[in-house]
Amino acid sequence: MKKITLLFLSTLFVLGCASNPLRNINTDKFSFKGTDVYYDGKLMATMANIEVAYDDGKIVREVTYRLVSDEFNEQVFGLIKYFRLRHPSYEIEVDIPYKGL
């Protein structure tokens, strides 16, 4: 019984320590107007489409946003976090303008 309890507590500890890549991302400058996303008052991204799929036994909803300019490339993770905080049941994808590799 001690081993099971120790295994359970260890599992909880490991899961609790799992890193969230969006944890330190700030979303203070983001806002919605309709379906558009603004960053610091400037239009950043427009909704491109919504997809609904049956994936692995469940219904999945995904929204795709398209950045209006490559000037916002650095704020992509903030956009993802901002959207997920407001719409946690949706997956989000962001189309980024190609700048070259």
Flag whether 78 is in a domain. yes
In a domain, 82, yes or no: yes
Q: Which residues contact 91 (CB under 8 A, 6 or more apart)?
A: 60, 61, 62, 63
Does any domain span residue 101?
Answer: no
Per-residue pLDDT in tens (0 to 9) along the chain, 101 residues: 555 554 555 555 554 555 777 788 889 999 999 999 999 999 999 999 999 999 999 999 999 999 999 899 999 999 999 999 999 999 999 999 887 66
Q: Is 16 contained in some domain? A: no
According to the model, what pLDDT value does residue 36 have? 96
Res 23: pLDDT: 83
Q: Tell me what pLDDT residue 35 has.
A: 93
State how many domains the chain has.
Answer: 1
Q: Where are the alpha helices (DSSP H) in the chain?
A: 2-17, 76-86
- pLDDT of the residue at 90: 94
Strand 58-67 to 36-39 pairing? unpaired
- Which amino acid belongs to residue 10? S
Which tokens hold the place of 6? 């120790």
Q: Per the domain annotation, does 3 fall within a domain?
A: no
Q: Which domain holds residue 63?
A: 26-95
